[in-house]
Structure 1
């Protein structure tokens, strides 16, 4: 952490912040920015969005009184200043490290974190729930939901706004739209800022209400005159601001204002705090504010690994091994060259899903639907009905949001939609909201859907070719990070649906693995053979559904000892599928040990450390094998030695 932070070092809680003079706050903002850059350059994290929300975080805690008042940071990736101001300054260097601070807001981490976040667009709905609960308890505390303009592309945000603006019930909620994309001229911005601060003043609000009641009380013409006056005010505000949409939801709209002007922010927040109706404050901020490299390349610095502060260059070790995302993106371009029916769909993640090269090569066949996974899946289903082959590339954790659409709009009609699930399994430092540990389970139960996972980056290429050639719904799940390091075939071929492959053969143990677990299984088999003279049959299952019963059942029957490994929750996953087919065929004599994640959420930390902690590496397979063999191990050793 930066050593020169005299003001920040005084702040151990929001109460300490309130002791500072307003004139000191810009200097505090600079210290916070320097601290965020210092820490994220080492630990990685969401840099650009948090740098853009520094003044907003200061102003909110200067005006409101958490934890009594509630501030909800949508997604939580813009809340680093909030963490520094709420008693976590000394812990901040542990950000996103194993056992350290979460990269998002987390209720169990601090009483100042009103809601646990990680996925977008939840703040308005959750904030409204808190506000209504406080009203029932007759608690006058305020609730503030801070949502980014990107999160406003999701339907959930508008569902929350729709109920908030329902005039049948009084609802007291403040929504702050942190807009770092809209371009607005200085003159209009200055006028809007002046109008917002003026319109929000408590005396004017009282006068408006009293005058409105007076107009409505006029005999015969009162209601008409009132509506005319209301429309005139709204027309004037709409002319100089983009607030018509929010006014339509019955929010009192103010803005846009400069989100880096602390005096203006504090003034308007103090005025808004006195209001008792739904309010939306539109704040303009700059992503990456204060760090030149992040300002120039906010997309890259949205979520970044460790980097050199002076240059902004990533510190990752140089390697020629591509990551799975890059291989997927490259293969999409190759397939699209030969098939003009292939369409790419993503939900505000073209960079994260590797589709930028596709979007440049085939802009007419690339669709970014915004943070709207539900819409994206149904949109793809519509295209599939017209003969296209849409590939929906979404992180595993975010596809959870579209579960109903997968069932209702794709699988019932057996539409040929490909689901490319990036970041399947353990993802690392983003933690429990982002691990893709449930997809094998929630997809395996859906009729008509094929589910597969490659053992390496080369098999990913062939599986993608298989997926786009398949005439029905199919899901392809692959991990975050670098591939295994195998050579990539020049020619693409298809894999028979439901066909597994045997990688090694032995009579002592059967190891059934899928996806990233295959490489660990191969390593474990080598260790068992070298150190314990235990010979294993290793099977790359390839398909979670359908399973290759013709290959698996005879092997399980003859060997009698089976270990399954998957980077997924054990409940309903790959191992459960193996148990099911064994039970269905009356093979209760087969001893099965399933390796995966038990009934819990996995915290944040390096991928390899977490795999070790949760028994998903080669060492865990070896341990399970030795425990399974038990007393028979000594006999096996004697036989092999002889």
Structure 2
């Protein structure tokens, strides 16, 4: 599948044997290789296509792995992986037991730092550079490659601020394509746009104000210019900043024209870029779309509703509210801490703020969640998309820790709907007269009900549901695990089914203590099932209350085990975690 030049490159040493002219042919081969693989295996496309020439130039000009490259986020690192010994296994990218979709230290010596969340590259590379100085390795180069969306994050600024007063041999390469997953936003984007057209008087250069030597802008698809620039930069000590202009999706017309869709397009025709048809007729809607459409419906009758997302308007489906009520829906960029405290500020003025944020990214705003929201008991609604196991993005993106890290925070209510109707009604309830912060967690992907747009019903906070009663054993599920449990029960023999009661608890905090007390009286054996970390999660909450009540029976907790789960299909990862339908069925049979 790869071309004659690419076929002979198993490391950057092989790459450096080529002439500068051959590098241009290699760029075409590498771009085609990425397109052909991603077209059938799926993955992140546009970002890696946009940095093909930049990737080649970096490995050609610098002596990797002795010189250290740190890729921010890692969406753009496919070419890097292919050129550093993983060409033959690249088709396993993001698959179970395959290579990771992001840089990963234990995968290759060329992956100097594991990255899955944005804006960490400058701090990491600066740490490496300072460490090199302490070790006397003053000739070593340290390069952080960061996008224009990622560099607007607070953490990136913190790294720049420190680096500017250090003696570190650090090069920050800004890959500026004006888009992250969605278009970049904010004042810094406007500044960079001016820089592209030559507007860079020294008194207005924010980078030079931070004590960096600024170079650029440079055409990121011009190999000759890149190689000449890197050759000069290697001779300059101290903190340096190179502004590189690229086009996301470069080389595939469809990907250049629709950069949002082709960030991770699914399967497509490699020659034309045409997306392969995927029949969604009769399938349930995605949870994110149920959230987005319901929020618009509620906002039409409640002018106090505001929506906020940190750089995920498409992924969270807040885009629907941004289209209908642009003055009440905000994309704040990759700035989770700011998003949470912004929401808190709005809540003090009487607004009902829905902060739509992936579970894995809320981790980045934990102090704000406690200090700015919970301590002040402000009624911010956290809509935690991608809760639970998310699949091919792997350990950096699984939303499995939210129950455990939220459960210990006073004042915070935690709910996990088991279907779209519950999600819809929880959103409705949240904007009625909420007095405390509320986190609503829901999974990635499609729901379980085709029909979901029923009239709104208020949800009683802290109230669970009995789905069916049994005679011997109670199964307590939270969130989408209700579907797995119900399916497992249905696979039992008729004489076995009647032994199992099933309860959808809906709320992790507060627990439905009245319902639990009735369960403790009726059953001697309980099983809890959750799609989050089993340590400190929902099952632990039940164990704590059972101990408090003096329950003498047996409780078994099923959930994601105490280890990081890597990439794979959600069904595969549920099997590994012991919470698949078949895993649950096996547990029920042993108890029978």
How would you bin the TM-score normalised by the shorter chain? over 0.9
Q: How does 1:493-642 map to 2 (within 5 A)?
A: 493-530=457-494, 532-533=496-497, 535-587=499-551, 589-627=552-590, 629=591, 633=592
Question: Are the counterparts in 2 of residues 456 and 516 from structure 1 also a CA contact under 8 Å?
Answer: yes
> Residues 473 and 189 (structure 1 numbering): CA distance in 2 closer, same or farther, change over 3 Å?
closer
**Does residue 1:442 correspond to 2:441, yes or no?**
no
Q: How does 1:322-401 map to 2 (within 5 A)?
A: 322-401=285-364
Deviations 1:567-607 (A, max 9, x none): 000111000000000001111x1201100011101100011
Aligned mate of 2:431, from 461, 468, 481: 468
TM-superposed deviation, 1:314: 4.2
Q: Match of 2:163?
A: 164
Aligned mate of 1:107, from 92, 99, 105: 105
Aligned mate of 1:42, from 29, 40, 52: 40
Question: Are the counterparts in 2 of residues 149 and 178 from structure 1 also a CA contact under 8 Å?
Answer: yes
What secondary structure is seen at the aligned counterpart in 2 of 1:106? Answer: coil
More off after superposition, 574-583 vs 520-529 = 520-529
Question: Are the counterparts in 2 of residues 427 and 607 from structure 1 also a CA contact under 8 Å?
Answer: yes
TM-superposed deviation, 1:189: 6.2
Q: Match of 1:207?
A: none
Q: Match of 2:152?
A: 153
CA distance in 1, matches of 2:114, 2:523: 47
Q: Match of 1:412?
A: 375
Q: How does 1:83-232 map to 2 (within 5 A)?
A: 83-139=81-137, 140-166=139-165, 169-181=166-178
TM-superposed deviation, 1:42: 1.5
Aligned mate of 1:33, from 9, 31, 35: 31
CA distance in 2, matches of 1:242, 1:326: 46
Question: Are the counterparts in 1 of residues 253 and 273 from structure 2 also a CA contact under 8 Å?
Answer: no
Aligned residues: 578
Question: Are the counterparts in 2 of residues 557 and 590 from structure 1 also a CA contact under 8 Å?
Answer: no
Question: Are the counterparts in 2 of residues 499 and 542 from structure 1 also a CA contact under 8 Å?
Answer: yes
TM-superposed deviation, 1:486: 4.3
Q: Match of 2:184?
A: none
More off after superposition, 595-604 vs 176-185 = 176-185
More off after superposition, 519-528 vs 115-124 = 519-528
Deviations 1:216-242 (A, max 9, x none): xxxxxxxxxxxxxxxxxxxxx933x89
TM-superposed deviation, 1:442: 0.6
Question: Are the counterparts in 1 of residues 490 and 497 from structure 2 also a CA contact under 8 Å?
Answer: no
What secondary structure is seen at the aligned counterpart in 2 of 1:447? Answer: coil
Please give the TM-score of this superposition, normalised by the length of structure 2. 0.95
Please give the TM-score of this superposition, normalised by the length of structure 1. 0.87
Q: Match of 2:9?
A: 11
> Residues 449 and 116 (structure 1 numbering): CA distance in 2 closer, same or farther, change over 3 Å?
same
What secondary structure is seen at the aligned counterpart in 2 of 1:116? Answer: coil
Structure 2: runs of 5 or more not aligned: 179-188
Deviations 1:398-454 (A, max 9, x none): 010001001000011111100000000010100000000000111111000000011
CA distance in 2, matches of 1:539, 1:63: 61
Q: Which has the larger radius of gyration?
A: 1
Question: Are the counterparts in 2 of residues 189 and 258 from structure 1 also a CA contact under 8 Å?
Answer: no
Root-mean-square deviation over aligned CA pairs: 1.9
Q: Match of 2:280?
A: 318
TM-superposed deviation, 1:43: 1.8
What secondary structure is seen at the aligned counterpart in 2 of 1:383? Answer: helix
Deviations 1:135-161 (A, max 9, x none): 111112111000000101210001001
Question: Are the counterparts in 2 of residues 529 and 535 from structure 1 also a CA contact under 8 Å?
Answer: no
> Residues 368 and 287 (structure 1 numbering): CA distance in 2 closer, same or farther, change over 3 Å?
same
Q: Match of 1:278?
A: 239
> Residues 506 and 252 (structure 1 numbering): CA distance in 2 closer, same or farther, change over 3 Å?
same
More off after superposition, 348-357 vs 38-47 = 38-47
What secondary structure is seen at the aligned counterpart in 1 of 2:173? Answer: strand
> Residues 262 and 561 (structure 1 numbering): CA distance in 2 closer, same or farther, change over 3 Å?
same
TM-superposed deviation, 1:466: 1.6
Aligned mate of 1:305, from 231, 247, 266: 266
Question: Are the counterparts in 1 of residues 289 and 317 from structure 2 also a CA contact under 8 Å?
Answer: yes
Question: Are the counterparts in 2 of residues 449 and 475 from structure 1 also a CA contact under 8 Å?
Answer: yes
More off after superposition, 576-585 vs 303-312 = 303-312
